[in-house]
Amino acid sequence: MMKYLEKRGEITFDKIFNQKLGYLIFKDYCLNYHEEPVPQIRFYEEIKKLESLETDEERIALGKEIYDQFIMKELLSQSHEFSKETVDRVLELLTNAQKTRILPPDTFSPYLSEICDSIRGDIFDAFVRSPRFTRFCQWKNLELNLNLTANDFSVHRIIGRGGFGEVYGCRKADTGKM
């Protein structure tokens, strides 16, 4: 399945991250299997949650919470890896929202591209080498419902002989199941 996806150019960060299934498996990898914590995933999800809110009051409350939890904490510890322009723009919009009581849904959208850029490199490469990526390939195989060929199996040994011929023990190459 991996060869099939590689041939069609489907094994890129953008293609996998922007699919529902790919995002969920990548998120699971980042939160549960990656050696180091990946706080950008929680930050990304909070921004998406803010964009989907209906009222300005809810957006202002969540926007302030996001700023305090993800931006201010990193600024104080001097571990902030995002651009100063983005921080200034978001701070200005949040300050104006306190006065006007209006906060646009795309307030934190500049952070989305910066978050994607930060996890696109080493984290994504580690994901592609992990068992979670194998799981993604299995789901894609199921989703695409590709026809099986003899090349998808490795034959191990004869299990038995009978009136209808021989029975072989085979293992499916991508899943490892007998």
Q: What is the pLDDT of residue 7?
A: 83
| Band of residue 79 on the pLDDT scale cut at 50, 70, 90 | low
Q: What is the pLDDT of residue 94?
A: 92
| Residue type at position 45 | E
Class of domain 2-141: mainly alpha
Q: 154 has which bridge partners?
A: 171
Distance CA(133)–CA(1), nearest Å, equals 11
Tell me how far CA of residue 96 lies from CA of 82, 84, 85, in angstroms. Answer: 21, 18, 16
Q: Residues 47-61: pLDDT tens digits?
A: 999 999 999 999 999
Distance CA(62)–CA(108), nearest Å, equals 11
Q: What is the pLDDT of residue 74?
A: 74
Query: Residues spanned by CATH 1.10.167.10 within the chain?
Result: 2-141
**Residue whose C-alpha is closest to residue 172's, from 126, 141, 129, 133:** 141
Q: Residues 139-170: pLDDT tens digits?
A: 888 888 767 778 878 888 889 898 888 998 98
Q: What is the pLDDT of residue 80?
A: 65
Q: What value does the mean pLDDT of the chain take?
A: 88
Mean pLDDT of 83-91: 88
**Which residue would you say has higher pLDDT here, 149 or 129?**
129
Mean pLDDT of 101-123: 90
Separation of CA 118 from chain center: 12
